[in-house]
C-alpha cells in the first residue's frame, strides 16, 4: 500500500455538467471522484467492487466550465472485504492553468463474489 497520491482521472468540465445556476454540478464532481476511487482500488483485487460509503466530503472551491478536473487517489486502508480510498480533486483553471484543490473525500468500496456477496479482497 502506497501513501503517495496517484493521478487517476483527468477530464474537462463541460457546459452539460452544470447545474441550473451554471456552476459545475456537485453530483458530476462526486461521480468523477467515485470513478477515481474505483480505478485506484481495482488494482488490488480481481473481484467486482462497489462503493458502499462516502465520508468526509468537503467542497472547498467551485469547478468552472472549461476547467480540467484532476482526481488524485490514495489507498488508506485495505480490510478483509473493503478498500478505503482518499480522493482529492483539483481544478486546473481554464484561465491561467493554476491548479487548486476543490474537493476531497473518502470512498469505501467492497469486493463482491459472483453472487454479489462481500468476499475477501485477496483470493
What are the chain's domains?
A: 6-112 (3.10.129.10)
The pLDDT value recorded for residue 2 is 53
Q: Residue 123 pLDDT more than 80?
A: no
pLDDT at 1: 53
What is the rounded distance in angstroms from the CA atom of residue 109 to the CA atom of residue 34?
9
Q: Distances in Å between the alpha carbon of 115 and those of 41, 42, 73, 80, 118?
A: 20, 18, 28, 18, 9
Q: What digits encode the pLDDT tens for the residues 3-60?
A: 678 999 999 999 999 988 888 999 999 999 999 999 999 999 999 999 999 999 999 9
Does residue 96 carry a pLDDT above 90?
A: no
3-state helix, strand, coil in the chain (%, to 5): 20, 45, 35
Amino acid at each position: 500500500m502506497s501513501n503517495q497520491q496517484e493521478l487517476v482521472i483527468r477530464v474537462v468540465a463541460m457546459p452539460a455538467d452544470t447545474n441550473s445556476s451554471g456552476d459545475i454540478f456537485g453530483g458530476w464532481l462526486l461521480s468523477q471522484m467515485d470513478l477515481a476511487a474505483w480505478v485506484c482500488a481495482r488494482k488490488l483485487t480481481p473481484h467486482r467492487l462497489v462503493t458502499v460509503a462516502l465520508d468526509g466530503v468537503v467542497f472547498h472551491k467551485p469547478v468552472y466550465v472549461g476547467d480540467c478536473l484532476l482526481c488524485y487517489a490514495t489507498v488508506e486502508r485495505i480490510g478483509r472485504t473493503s478498500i478505503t480510498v482518499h480522493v482529492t480533486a483539483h481544478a486546473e483553471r481554464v484561465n491561467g492553468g493554476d491548479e487548486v484543490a476543490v474537493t476531497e473525500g473518502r470512498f469505501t468500496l467492497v469486493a463482491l463474489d459472483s453472487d454479489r456477496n462481500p468476499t475477501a479482497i485477496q483470493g
